[in-house]
Amino acid sequence: MNTLEPALIQKKELAKRLSVSPRTIDGWVARRVIPCIKISPRFNLYDLDAVLAALKKNYQVDARG
C-alpha cells in the first residue's frame, strides 16, 4: 500500500476500491470473510491490505485495489 494512503478506510471507500456494494462488505463482515475494526456497533474501519489478503485466501482470486 502507498504510504500516502490512510492505513484504515471506511466501508464506502473499501466497496469502491473492490468494485462491490457496501452491502456486500456487510455480508463479508457478518460471515467473517474479511477482518474489520469495530469502532462502534454501526461503524467499522478496514485495513485494505488485510482485506485483500483475506479475499485472496478465501476466494483464491487476485483482488485488485
Q: What are the pLDDT digits (tens) for 5-63?
A: 678 999 999 999 999 999 999 999 999 999 999 999 999 999 999 999 999 998 875 55
Which of 13, 10, 58 is CA-nearest to residue 34?
58
Cell of residue 16, nine digits: 469502491
Please give the angle made by the CA atoms of 2, 25 and 17, to the nearest 5 degrees. Answer: 30
Q: Quick check: helix, strand or coil at residue 18?
A: helix
- Which pLDDT belongs to residue 21? 97
Helices 11-18 and 22-30, packing angle to 10 deg? 100
- Which pLDDT belongs to residue 7? 87
For residue 4, name the pLDDT band (cuts at 50, 70, 90).
low
